[in-house]
């Protein structure tokens, strides 16, 4: 389990205890915390909890914020397991979340990625992230989950698993992204390599959406919009054939221009 953290002690206080309650053999689990330059007590808290639980763990302490994609690659590089579970720090997990993921990998030989079923941490029932797809222009959509495992286009990054050999085969996360669209790009490349992405409805996790990103609402929106738009283009350019890329870029550029105009035009009193 790879967790990227930046000044997230308040979230780790929920995440780590729930993770330790997972109904999965502790001798087959390894927890890796990749810290991106925290100045709170995140590392000290995590070490104390994991040492007390007597579970195998590793901590990588970066001097600065390297971004979500590079930090996850750091964790994956030193992980010893056959399955990599990437988990945001602003999560709580159901005790069966790992078992349900492993079951899908066992039953679906072509499965390369499995996404957990994420509900809101606040009421434990509102859908946070469901079955995720892209349209032909690279815009993402999420649908209400089916009751059975389902083949989807991509897994959202806050809670998903990938076979380590698949992760290594496709080259891991593209570190140019920093964050935003990196999960989509990873899954797209997984599919191009011949594997499938599944949604696991019984692998339940709870997410405080926006908790990891931090900052004020306005700061988050501006920063995320810039990265989201840039990485949207990058993902299309990387993964489409030229015959599909050119019309997609025309449409996306037009839609972005309309969206930007709408945001910047003065409103009438």
pLDDT of 264 over the 70 cut: no
Secondary structure class of 75 (helix, strand, coil): helix
Q: Give the number of C-alpha atoms closer than 13 A to the C-alpha of residue 257, restricted to the C-beta side.
A: 6
**How much is the pLDDT for 120?**
94
Q: How far is CA 251 from CA 121, 138, 254, in A?
A: 36, 10, 5
Closest C-alpha to 67, from 161, 210, 179: 179
* pLDDT single digits (tens) 107-139: 999 999 999 999 999 999 999 988 999 999 999
Instruction: For residues 257-261, give the mean pLDDT.
Output: 67
Confidence (pLDDT) at 149 = 93
Helical (H) or strand (E) element with 253: helix 242-264
What pLDDT shows up at residue 73?
98
Terminal C-alpha separation, the chain: 52
Rounded Cα distance between 115 and 96, Å, is 14
Strand (E) or helix (H) holding 87? strand 83-88
Its pTM stands at: 0.89
Calpha distance 224→159 (Å, rounded): 19
Q: Residues 154, 132: contact at Cβ < 8 Å?
A: yes
Question: Token pair of 192, please?
Answer: 């191009």
DSSP 245: H
- Beta strand 2-5 pairing with 30-35: parallel
Q: 42-46, 165-169, 228-232, 243-247: which range is least confident on average?
A: 228-232
State mean pLDDT over 197-218. Answer: 78
């Amino acid at each position: 389990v790879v967790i990227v953290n930046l000044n997230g002690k308040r979230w780790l206080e929920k995440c780590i205890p729930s993770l330790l309650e997972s109904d999965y053999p502790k001798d087959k689990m390894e927890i890796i915390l990749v810290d991106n330059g925290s100045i709170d007590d995140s590392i000290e808290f995590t070490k104390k909890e994991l040492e007390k639980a007597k579970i195998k763990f590793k901590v990588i302490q970066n001097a600065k914020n390297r971004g979500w994609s590079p930090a996850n690659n750091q964790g994956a590089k030193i992980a010893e397991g056959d399955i990599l579970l990437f988990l945001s720090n602003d999560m709580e997990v159901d005790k069966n979340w790992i078992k349900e993921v492993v079951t899908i990998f066992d039953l679906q030989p072509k499965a390369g990625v499995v996404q957990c079923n994420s509900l809101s941490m606040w009421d434990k029932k509102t859908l946070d992230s469901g079955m995720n797809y892209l349209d032909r222009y690279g815009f993402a959509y999420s649908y209400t989950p089916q009751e059975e495992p389902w083949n989807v286009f991509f897994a959202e990054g806050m809670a998903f698993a990938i076979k380590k050999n698949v992760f290594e085969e496709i080259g891991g996360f593209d570190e140019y992204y920093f964050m935003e669209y990196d999960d989509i790009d990873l899954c797209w490349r997984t599919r191009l390599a011949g594997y499938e992405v599944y949604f696991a409805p019984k692998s339940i996790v709870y997410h405080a959406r926006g908790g990891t990103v931090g900052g004020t609402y306005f700061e988050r929106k501006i920063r995320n919009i810039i990265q989201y738009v840039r990485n949207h283009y990058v993902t299309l350019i990387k993964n489409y054939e030229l015959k599909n890329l050119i019309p997609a870029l025309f449409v996306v550029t037009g839609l972005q221009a309309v969206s930007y105009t709408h945001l910047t035009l003065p409103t009438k009193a």
